[in-house]
Structure 1
């Protein structure tokens, strides 16, 4: 994606007023008030994935309605040859991964294997897609990490390539990093996004943007909710880039990369005109910002949180800004995917009256 495409996308968004969906808002017909909908499945096959891009012109792999639940299989973003070269026994490579690498030839500039896209019938540009992450399950007992020359936070310190397999203990939920070192596992999808505006064309799956995508936000575990502005009919949601664990920053370009199975519920909020993705955990509100400049990503995330406090908590802009300074934590989501990511975290516990209701 070049700067001209970026400016065109932002110009489209500027046509709508900047506002956020109520973080706890649910429509009167919310599935939470009705019987649980059946769970549909979308497996990862050569016919149901895209590799390396988001695109408003991508044909949907599944059509659903607002409120539907989908269980999605996603695969580790790596070739079988590289996994085996790093020491993974060939028998542990998923057959689906072999088939996709062999058969999918239409690829974008990124490397992520994304399951989807899913077309949500009610979603139109100007709406917001609420993605409730109901479950995230580790699918294989291994992960990998790798760094390559010219990438990561310390490219001059590590001007060579390394890749290693990290076994996963699925019962104890730890990564067996090295003797005496175990990494607690908190599996999440590094990439969850919708199609960008059609004027942007096919964009790389690497940098996160207004369509979310490769946000690499480790807070997006099971039980959290992601809110994404819709830019194309049907939203066209895809997910992939499974992570068993990751540190904020993702400094060497990779997390503990692995295959996951996720269960998502999709709800459309009409006419909300959200400009940037945001999220909600059981205990926190999260505002996101992405830009090539880390300073600008900080500004975007902070501005989003200020706007939330004004529109949803009814503070003055001055008071919202002050509250951000005294109660909001800024985290560097990731530094290595072109656009830097920052997320602002606000504890729900601050709002005493709302908590007691």
Structure 2
């Protein structure tokens, strides 16, 4: 790797920062996950069913109250810029399944070359110099941009016991804002209308968005003097992933894949889980591309890009097989389809929806297809990341009659 070697941060924190919701950890780990386990022996199955009866149908989460919490800083030694980590990347931290990370992340918007001097760019839009994130300035000055992607990525984190064939669950427990601003950008050759916008042949049209944390809004200021518009904030991490097995998949931070990465699904905020097939020993988890708010499609090119500090819990699931990333919220499953062709991404998302409803609820796939045509929304995650995304939102309450008595 071209990043500095040998630095390892392992700083346990006595408790998670105030404001982190712990409700989710008591409602995760339910039997649905264990129904996905492929029990290969009748004795094993009998044991599992006995445990099911003992605990009343609810398995505890693999995480325990004694799991460590670590703070990971976005220092130059802990980030890369423009590419993903590789199978031979040195981890900055080793954790156990069930441990938690309070992980600083840095937005790339504002430090890219086409935005000029970062301080001038931000202060020219009304941001106080004292509010500019020092990490952004330090990374711009000290970190080499080694790939074609724009993203600054924090990691990688080695999860003990994670092996290819396992699944890493990434729970997002909390997200804190680091600065009172974000940035939206449109660039020629990119976005949903490449070559049409920005207007007049300009290479970039970019706007700084002040963040009003008290009212939970981003303030959008029209260029022609119209009244300000408010954008409701819903922060999430656009990029969460494990290291891909093929180093060629890691040369650019932009396209998502089986390994996750830049999936840009706005439902993956606080209280969500993202499940990813482990590709290399230790999984080597990383995150970046923090967003304050995004519309489905992300049509200009970016969301409100803003530096955030998410809190993650990392859980290794043994014997759980996945052929695509899967998302989960308290209320819904998220069936992810990824492909350079949007039609193919749609097909993959529908097939994943059929698999989920069949394996989780027992619905036959022909029935699930008919049911989905009447009741399931398939949404465009983004069309701007080379590999496009469709996600089907599968409300759990619709299938409640199929789980009663289990």
* TM-score normalised over the length of structure 2: 0.78
Which of 94, 101, 104 is the aligned partner of 1:73? Answer: 104
* Partner residue, 2:94: 63
2:293 aligned counterpart, secondary structure:
coil
* Partner residue, 1:49: 79
* Partner residue, 2:171: 132
Number of aligned residues: 336
Which of 225, 243, 256 is the aligned partner of 2:291? Answer: 243
Which of 169, 186, 211 is the aligned partner of 2:212? Answer: 169
The verdict on how the C-alpha distance between 1:184 and 1:79 changes in structure 2, with shifts beyond 3 A counting, is closer
2:336 aligned counterpart, secondary structure:
strand
Q: CA deviation at 1:334?
A: 0.2
Residue pair 2:357, 2:363 contacting (<8 A) in 1 also? yes
Separation of aligned partners in 2, 1:243 and 1:115: 15
Unaligned residue ranges in structure 1 (runs of 5+): 1-20
Query: Is residue 266 of structure 1 aligned with residue 266 of structure 2?
Result: no
Which of 333, 349, 359 is the aligned partner of 1:285? Answer: 333
Query: Is residue 84 of structure 1 aligned with residue 120 of structure 2?
Result: yes
Which of 102, 108, 126 is the aligned partner of 2:147? Answer: 108
Which of 230, 239, 251 is the aligned partner of 2:278? Answer: 230
Q: CA deviation at 1:85?
A: 2.3
* TM-score normalised over the length of structure 1: 0.89
Correspondence list, 1:166-205, <5 A:
166-178=209-221, 179-198=227-246, 200=248, 202-205=250-253
The verdict on how the C-alpha distance between 1:90 and 1:163 changes in structure 2, with shifts beyond 3 A counting, is same
Residue pair 2:292, 2:306 contacting (<8 A) in 1 also? yes
Unaligned residue ranges in structure 2 (runs of 5+): 1-28, 38-58, 112-116, 222-226
* Partner residue, 1:17: none
* Residue deviations 1:2-44 (CA, integer Å, cap 9, x gap): xxxxxxxxxxxxxxxxxxx988426967345x42523211010
- Bigger strand share: 1
Moved more, 219-228 or 154-163: 154-163
Separation of aligned partners in 2, 1:232 and 1:321: 34
The verdict on how the C-alpha distance between 1:201 and 1:145 changes in structure 2, with shifts beyond 3 A counting, is closer
* Partner residue, 2:21: none
1:234 aligned counterpart, secondary structure:
coil
Q: Which has the larger radius of gyration?
A: 2
Q: CA deviation at 1:106?
A: 5.8
How much is the aligned-residue C-alpha RMSD, in angstroms? 2.1
* Partner residue, 1:149: 188
RCO (CA 8 Å, sep 6+): is it higher in 1 or 2? 1
Separation of aligned partners in 2, 1:202 and 1:285: 27
* Partner residue, 1:14: none
2:164 aligned counterpart, secondary structure:
coil
Q: CA deviation at 1:61?
A: 1.2
The verdict on how the C-alpha distance between 1:105 and 1:355 changes in structure 2, with shifts beyond 3 A counting, is farther
* Partner residue, 1:25: 33
Residue pair 1:23, 1:280 contacting (<8 A) in 2 also? no
Correspondence list, 1:202-221, <5 A:
202-221=250-269
2:158 aligned counterpart, secondary structure:
strand
Separation of aligned partners in 2, 1:182 and 1:265: 32
Q: CA deviation at 1:95?
A: 1.5
